[in-house]
Structure 1
């Protein structure tokens, strides 16, 4: 089972690298990227999960409606992308439900940072997908965490996929930097081991991020962005479909575990 997910948010990453980017630019870039992505998903008729901040959903209502009308799942990525309080777990869920008309069942913490599972349960979520069970220098060391789905505090935990043995992460940066054929081999081995593949990306990856003066992003972030990313994702989905892998939303997958 292939579980593709996309964290749709205000594009604030340049701020981490000392670059000013207006809120309008942050939104325009993420909206443009989300529409590119939705075009790919429409082409292949696959359903995915979008983890949205309330800020993005409030300022991109047409895109949110397109997501809903296309049959994708909407889940919570918090209220803001760069600011978090435990109260946002419930408030973001409530706001997104009002905006979308959907029952918001899942949560993902921005930047895959730690979050209290008891608070996740209190807020009423069915699942949490906020753990990358690997070591990422400067970010986190989750080598002691389960690499496959499990339950904690009554909430299903769905970690991001990693390779079976050395826990090589299959997250968005790996997709940008590995040769696509090698990424596909590792992805298939992970899916064989776990019975599913849980991968996450961002809409701004589908826009050109190569302008260092404007964005200040290192090469390993901007590599294969924009048109190249669109082409890679298109090829990757087609490859998995050719191999007869089924796709579904995360909540649909979680339902099969209950």
Structure 2
């Protein structure tokens, strides 16, 4: 039985990268928060289905909702880092990123009282312009990253990266990168790991893609989404471009029911239990 990784990127609706030109970080505290309501809904559904997941959490959110962070750990989920304030890695230099990665890890560990092993970059922003990023994560005590999307996209992506777990640091066989899931059709890669793609595609296509990963390629899939994606009543941000508005608000009302189907149709677990427990020799560069 292949277990797939269920992951949630813990950020509120106003913190997405596409909203940066419209919502200042200085204004985040003044906006109505939806994260507690949405995250409790997700936790309850996971409990109903008996699924444990990994929550890649912003340090900014954890500081303001520490009880919620402790609760998700108490419910048996993995707490991991999403950086402090959703700043893309490729907009930081090495020193700034090192400080952010270390600060967020220490903050989450102090709040939850557990070790934090995993990291996911804002908007999958570890790419060819940040060759030092994985080394920094290793240096600051993380054991894995899930920050590479091996596709071509207008905002992110490393299209020639391996599709499955690999060691990104030359000479290091401990630290791993776990890329977001894709499928290949006639030598072309297509994203299937969640987020906006999951809301855009018919559910049958997403189910087929995870079936391909599990039953044809014999690989674990990685699925991700955000708490705001199950919240069709979230406040609307004014001034968005048609593309940004379409991507963010598309099919929000259908997301929860689709996600419930995905939970039922496949087997799920935390990132650390799946990938950090892999036997030696199974974490090689898999293209």
- What's the TM-score once normalised by structure 1's chain length? 0.88
Match of 1:152 among 168, 172, 175: 168
Distance 1:6 1:213 in 2: 22
Aligned-pair Cα RMSD in Å:
2.2
Unaligned runs of 5+ in 2: 281-287
In the TM superposition, what are the counterparts of 1:101-250 in structure 2 within 5 Å? 101-114=113-126, 115=130, 116-136=133-153, 138-153=154-169, 154=172, 155-165=175-185, 166-170=188-192, 171-192=194-215, 193-208=217-232, 212=236, 214=238, 216=240, 217-225=244-252, 227-240=253-266, 245=267, 247-250=268-271
Distance 2:239 2:224 in 1: 22
Matched residue, 2:283: none
Unaligned runs of 5+ in 1: none
Is 1:256 the counterpart of 2:266? The answer is: no
Is 1:12 the counterpart of 2:15? The answer is: yes
Per-residue deviation, residues 87-108 of structure 1 (Å, max 9, x unmatched): 1111111111001111100111
| Alpha carbons of structure 1 residues 214 and 42: separation in structure 2 relative to 1, 3 Å | farther
Distance 1:208 1:110 in 2: 22
| Alpha carbons of structure 1 residues 142 and 38: separation in structure 2 relative to 1, 3 Å | same
Aligned length, in residue pairs:
251
Using the TM superposition, give the Cα deviation of residue 214 of structure 1 relative to its aligned residue in structure 2, in angstroms: 4.7
Using the TM superposition, give the Cα deviation of residue 211 of structure 1 relative to its aligned residue in structure 2, in angstroms: 5.9
- Equivalent residue of 2:42, what SS? helix
- What's the TM-score once normalised by structure 2's chain length? 0.80
Do 1:19 and 1:214's aligned partners in 2 also have CA atoms closer than 8 Å? Answer: no
Distance 1:77 1:210 in 2: 22
Per-residue deviation, residues 99-141 of structure 1 (Å, max 9, x unmatched): 11111001111111025111111011110110001111x2134
Matched residue, 2:4: 2
